[in-house]
Amino acid sequence: MNDDQDFLILTRYLEQFSPDVEGRAMESPPPEIAARLDRFTSGGVDASERSNLALLLKEHPEWVRYLACKIKQRG
């Protein structure tokens, strides 16, 4: 086992109870939040805003997938 595998096992376990819990469900954030996430993906945020966004996404893991899509689109 390694840490990556451990996290996947635990995530899959928690997902049985709620798919939103670990951020696999896709839900678009409100426009204001989407704009902040878009700025994050463009590299236009400082450490403080990055920290605030991380806290926000911890509370709303359903928006993590939106962020991931934006990061991949950027690449």
Partner 1 sequence: MSSEMPSNLGAKSFHAADFEFAQDLLAGDEDAWRRFHEEFVPAIVQRLRGMGASDADVDEVRGLVIERLWTRQKLASYTGSGPLMGFVRTTASNAWLEYLRKHHREVNASALEGEDGEGQAMDRIVGGISEAPQESPLAKLLRDALKFAMARTDAEALLILRLSLLQDVKQRDLCDLWGGVHEGTISAKKKQAMKQIRDDTLAFVAEREPTLNITWQELLEACGEDAEAILGPTGE
Minimum separation from the CB atom of position 36 to partner 1 (A): 13
User: How many helices and strands (H and E) does the chain possess?
Assistant: 4, 0
Which of 11, 30 has the CB closer to partner 1? 11
Residue 10, SS3 per DSSP: helix
Contact with partner 1 (CB under 8 A) among 12, 28, 35, 49: 12
| Residue 69, both tokens | 């899509």
* C-alpha dihedral, 39 to 41 to 43 to 48, nearest 10°: 70
Q: Which residues bind partner 1 (CB under 8 A)?
A: 1, 3-14, 16-17, 21-24, 40-41, 43, 47, 50-51, 53-55, 57-58, 61, 64-65, 67-68, 71-72, 74-75
